[in-house]
Structure 1
């Protein structure tokens, strides 16, 4: 991606390799009281993400001195994963998730374990690269084919390149919110 200053010192217009264009983060609605997952700024894209697409751009967060751990929110309804640093959105991707009897659970989960080269002990030694374990019953975020047709046995699959970046930007113990209809007033 290439960030270029536009209409003012803090504004950026970013064009990604896919041709998608993003504007510098816009101010979000005030967070709900006592929320661990606050959003102060979100990225406005020129179009919705397609399955397999993602962006990762920390230029605005860096320009504004945002520091701290990455916060991850997964919206099962929208089939998207969002990453924030200090309340500023830095990344987003489409996900694949569990369905029906293998539905992905909702709640707040700590990252229990990180394993860059993980293979499933339950599902025929299936590769789960850049695995971020969320439960001891096998739910994790990991690299996968994200095509709008595939499903998981409850995990959250993200494109491989995105999984690699996410893995590098989180620590064991970081919290992940898995929910439905996240920030509907912002992400339509």
Structure 2
């Protein structure tokens, strides 16, 4: 003979069972907050739409990446009449703007501690595509053509008899001061490394050169 089931106990059992089922169905992996970048189970969440500038700058490897951001539509419409360049020394990035909108964001390397790049508002004073060499920094060769100093300063380092000083090549030269500071193609480690100039990444420099002209504003900050 089956023992009689207490109706009150039955109701409590059914209530507990329903609560358990509801919690099991409702629970699941939490959704990423669309308003912030964070980590979920070790995976970085970028809340912005892929391809946007916000997504590019929110990436975990920005600003140290060698990647270049391009807004192709804005870049195509950029010209010396509407362009502006911003050099961010803290980020070691350059931004080519079209009427305030970022057309391209690219790596640069500014002056190291002993030769800092001066901050300020400038404009491009001169452009020279090729055959531009530094008259201060470069290499010294002996009479046989061997390099005796690969990081020479022409104002302080001596040249051996029969030797010569050859200034460092600076293609895509874009002068911003008459004291020798400008933007040009060069080695771009992800830290300040130049003698004051703004070395521009080789995959970006020709585009920057083509989109600016004499008079284009350049802000170094």
Pick the TM interval, shorter chain.
0.5 to 0.7
Cα distance in 1 between the residues matched to 2:78 and 2:209:
19
Alpha carbons of structure 1 residues 150 and 104: separation in structure 2 relative to 1, 3 Å: closer
Corresponding residue to 2:128 among 115, 132, 142: 115
Match of 1:24 in 2: 52
- Is the Cα contact below 8 Å between 1:129 and 1:160 reproduced in 2? no
Tell me if structure 2 keeps the 8 A contact 1:112–1:172.
yes
Q: What TM-score do you get using the length of structure 2 for normalisation?
A: 0.57
**Alignment root-mean-square deviation, CA:** 2.3
**Shift, 1:150, TM fit:** 6.3
Q: Match for residue 5 of structure 1?
A: none
Aligned equivalent of 2:101, options 88, 91, 107: 88
Task: Note if 1:157 corresponds to 2:170.
Answer: no
Q: Report the counterpart of residue 100 of structure 1 in structure 2.
A: 113
Using a 3 Å threshold, how does the CA distance of structure 1 residues 22 and 86 change in structure 2: closer, same or farther? farther
Structure 1 or 2: larger helix share?
2
Separation (CA, whole Å) in 1 of partners of 2:190 and 2:75: 30
Higher strand share: 1
SS in 1 for 2:52: strand
- Counterpart secondary structure, 2:172: strand
**TM-score, reference length from structure 1:** 0.66
**Which of 71, 75, 80 is matched with 2:84 structurally?**
71
Higher-Rg structure is 2
Give the deviation of 1:83 after TM superposition: 1.1
